[in-house]
A = this chain, B = another copy of it.
Amino acid sequence: MLRTHNCGELRIGDTGKEVTLCGWLQRSRDLGGMTFIDLRDRYGITQLAFNMETNATLCEQARELGREYVLQVTGVVTERSNKNPKMPTGDIEIIAARITVLNKAQTPPFTIEQDTDGGDELRMKYRYLDIRRDMVRRNLELRHQMALETRKYLHEQDFIEVETPVLIKSTPEGARDFVVPSRMHAGQFYALPQSPQTFKQLLMVGGIDRYFQIVKCFRDEDLRADRQPEFTQIDCEMSFVTREDVLETFEGLAKHLFRAIKGVDNIRFDRMSYQDAIKYYGSDKPDTRFGMRFVELDHLVKNKGFKVFDNAELVAGICAGGCGGYSRKQLDELTRWVQRPQIGAKGLVYVKCNADGTYKSSADKFFDQDALKSWTAAFDAKPGDLLLIIAGEAAGTRNALGELRLEMGNRLGLRDPKSFACLWVTDFPLLEWDEETQRFYAMHHPFTSPVKEDMQLLDTEPGEVRANAYDMVINGVEIGGGSIRIFDRPLQEKMFEVLGFTPAEAQSQFGFLMNAFQYGAPPHGGVAFGFDRWCALFGGSETIRDYIAFPKNNAGRDVMIDSPSPISADQLKELHLKNI
């Protein structure tokens, strides 16, 4: 090794030792008689000291060294006169005796410190320099730990990790595939997996009754904020289980990770139906760190002459505790907030619950104090609270109110990133109707089993059928989702029929799976977690990019290596392709 120790481990007890360290020059201070250099590596920072009096040549050499130079330094560990209690190595410094420049460095394009002056694109282009920053490195370390603990837990639960192929087959159902032209088979393509779904089901057919994989998946989508064309899943599947078994097993995983990574031991999982999630939170991934559940007011407010309510499909509101003192200006601002196109409400009706037991509302003209009192009773509101009410088409109203609820949660400090509310959302609809293409799409995917009781509705009212599907939601973030799967051919055929596949299309795309079902497929179900997202949640960041070593930008480009990029005419020709 070119070093005897790293830059994070030396302590007062090491005083007197001769050591050799390697690392990057973080900072250097020239105090005339003395020069100090902070030497940085992955493990920490150690101060090097150079004394003009005792070793002028070396001290002058040290003064010539620039930021981010790679150094090898030998010297003696010495107690500092001026200790720095903020640094683990702050009690000591190295009195340098020898210094070797292992590599020089140009001035980096941004400062490599906690608070950097580099913009997003610049730091992406020089990602290898960004990774030197403590925070980015710690994110990668967190990710490593999360993967390690995930594997540990699942291994202990008898899961085995099986690698499924990356070069698979394109199936138009679902999101858009990335494809890979075949050189050996002209006109044919592989596709990159959007998930190992069918393969993990085949592993169940193959008797591997507990499978997992931490695996790259790919989606050629128009990138929304914080989506990546390649992302990582914790993909899992189990045989001979009910829904309850799956939920318990993966609650166990979550609890293990909370304990091992976050040191949190009191995690509890709630259950909520999709229907309730929408009705009370306006979202299929409610943030349940706080209440502020929706109250529907239709029965109290309709037919009182207020057209906004009378013409609405739904009138519903939330109670913002302690916000009764909001000024006119604040309420106007909040109204404009809900009217923004991203939120899409027409307006906002408020009721202030005054300290003296009276009410002040923007709908005073139509509702007297008794009427307003009946509303506040429905919310169980107290003096000093503020009701915020939205009316309109039901789905849009719930959505807008859901956003408003989150916003009020933020303003009231109810969304503490250090507290965690976990739940399973269950009983999703099996199918979604798409107006544009006039057909049903699978809400989860076509392999999800309907709930048993709803099975007979598949022919008559497919839109009403509930799926045996579930999402894990933590603090309003969908961390993962899964389902109990269809495992017999006739039901799978029926499902494809409902989705508008001809039997020939179903066979050509998914024949291998339906064939497999005929050779003794066990009942099975599973789940897939967004690993990047889970890391971000545990790391306390909202963007998954911070947890990916080499992410792509929002246009799907890797700006560091400049990819995608043109390929040679020869390469294209070998692939039997032409650019158009």
Contact = CB atoms under 8 A, between A and B. Distances in A.
Interface of A: 1-3, 22, 24, 40-42, 68-70, 72, 102-106, 108, 126-132, 137, 140-141, 143-144, 147-148, 151, 155, 160-170, 172, 176-192, 198-199, 202-203, 205-209, 216, 218, 220, 222, 229-230, 232, 239-242, 245, 487-488, 512, 516-523, 548-550, 552, 555-558, 560-568, 571, 573-580
- Scoring A131, A180, A203, A230 by chain B CB atoms within 10 A of each residue's CB, the highest score goes to A180
The 10 lowest CB-CB distance pairs between A and B, nearest first, are A131-B206, A105-B520, A188-B564, A169-B563, A182-B564, A68-B520, A144-B160, A2-B240, A128-B206, A128-B202
Given A518-B105, A566-B188, A1 B245 contact: yes
Nearest to A105: B520
A160 B141 contact: yes
Contact of A144 (B106, B108, B161, B518): B161
B566 A187 contact: yes
Q: Count the copies.
A: 2
Contacts of A220: 183
Given A126-B519, A179-B180, 9 more contacts: A140-B160, A144-B160, A169-B558, A172-B568, A184-B555, A188-B566, A189-B564, A189-B566, A576-B579
A412 to B, nearest CB: 38
Given A42-B207, A144-B160, A218 B166 contact: yes
Contact of A168 (B140, B218, B558, B575): B558
Contact of A520 (B70, B548, B578): B70
A507 B556 CA distance: 22
A564 B181 CA distance: 8
B550 A199 contact: yes
B189 A565 contact: yes
A108 B519 contact: yes
Nearest to A232: B163
A182 B186 CA distance: 19
Contacts of A2: 240-242, 523
A180 B189 CA distance: 10
A577 B576 contact: no
Contact of A128 (B144, B205, B579): B205
Nearest to A217: B166
Contact of A176 (B179, B183, B241): B183
B209 A41 contact: yes
Given A578-B578, A579-B187, A165 B230 contact: yes
Contacts of A128: 202-203, 205-206, 516, 519
A360 B177 CA distance: 70
Given A151-B148, A151-B151, A208 B563 contact: no
A564 B576 CA distance: 14
Contacts of A68: 519-520
A209 B563 CA distance: 26
A484 to B, nearest CB: 12
10 contacts: A22-B239, A143-B163, A147-B161, A165-B230, A167-B178, A167-B230, A178-B180, A181-B577, A182-B556, A186-B579
Contacts of A165: 230, 550, 552, 558
A255 to B, nearest CB: 19
A203 B564 CA distance: 21
A192 to B, nearest CB: 7
A550 B201 CA distance: 13
A520 B163 CA distance: 37
B565 A102 contact: no
B242 A1 contact: yes
B240 A208 contact: no
A164 B202 contact: no
B184 A523 contact: no
A519 B564 contact: no
Contacts of A143: 162-163
A548 B164 CA distance: 8
Given A182-B564, A520-B104, A24 B207 contact: yes
Contacts of A140: 160, 162, 208
A167 B162 CA distance: 22
Given A162-B144, A188-B565, A220-B183, A129 B206 contact: yes
Contacts of A520: 24, 68-70, 103-105
Contacts of A127: 202, 206
A329 B190 CA distance: 52
Contacts of A129: 205-206, 519
B203 A106 contact: no
A580 B577 contact: yes
Contacts of A571: 170, 172, 177, 179
Nearest to A25: B520
A216 B215 CA distance: 10
A556 B186 CA distance: 13
A131 B1 contact: no
A236 to B, nearest CB: 14
Contact of A556 (B184, B209, B567, B576): B184
Contact of A190 (B199, B522, B564): B564
A137 B22 CA distance: 46
A262 B446 CA distance: 43
A229 to B, nearest CB: 6
A560 B512 contact: yes
Contact of A548 (B163, B170, B205, B218): B163
